[in-house]
Structure 1
């Protein structure tokens, strides 16, 4: 299966697919949107996108009156990666047999759990050793 990345354009209200562009690069994207009149493009209120570096440039050029929104999935993905990186960097300051290292190593899944899925009755132990409940 070919794993090309596509440019998928959805209607923000109905979430229906408007267009799928086989090539997601700037020239092709600009070419597609310049087919619409300036008046039609000026009516676009929001553009939601991933973190592709040129999408904001395209959005500002094509849709002058729009508000740019980064989609939730990519925000959460970026925060998760940053959190993991910080946790691993912190772990490197401790010996592998230390209590601090083991706590950072073993509890990482808690940080990724949805709040309503956490067991709020069973105590857990923090770095200071004080028992808490979530």
Structure 2
């Protein structure tokens, strides 16, 4: 965005082409924008892919009654990675800092995130 403002980007899910870039992500403005489309057009939307922004679900349910919500892969992997690292640190702290178990969890932490 511009001046540290986050924007809302609408993409076509089939070809990943940008449809619209809105200058704001505020719920009121998004509801107003999607309200411009006819109820029939909005009812034809089958899926909406989004990040984990907490109020996007409300917008999708209000504007697209038949749409299925899909969380995008990037944010899903990010959430899993954070959870895994949080658990790793929690388990790591149960061991003495000089122990082998602690060192195995502490030092090579990036290896645990790689493909086997």
> Is TM (by shorter chain) over 0.5?
yes
2:35 is matched with which residue? 34
1:102 is matched with which residue? 103
Flag structure 1 segments of 5+ consecutive residues without an equivalent: 119-134
For residues 42-62 of structure 1, what are the alpha-carbon distances to aligned partners after superposition, in whole Å with 9 as ceiling and x for unaligned?
A: 111100000000001100110
Of Structure 1 and Structure 2, the greater helix share is in 2
1:46 is matched with which residue? 47
1:70 is matched with which residue? 71
Paired positions, count: 115
The structure whose RCO (Cα within 8 Å, separation 6+) is larger is: 2
1:14 is matched with which residue? 15
RMSD: 1.1
Q: CA offset at residue 109 of structure 1?
A: 1.0
Q: CA offset at residue 107 of structure 1?
A: 2.6
For residues 61-103 of structure 1, what are the alpha-carbon distances to aligned partners after superposition, in whole Å with 9 as ceiling and x for unaligned?
A: 1000000000010011011111111111111111111000001
Flag structure 2 segments of 5+ consecutive residues without an equivalent: none
For residues 19-62 of structure 1, what are the alpha-carbon distances to aligned partners after superposition, in whole Å with 9 as ceiling and x for unaligned?
A: 11111010000000000000110111100000000001100110
Q: CA offset at residue 111 of structure 1?
A: 2.0
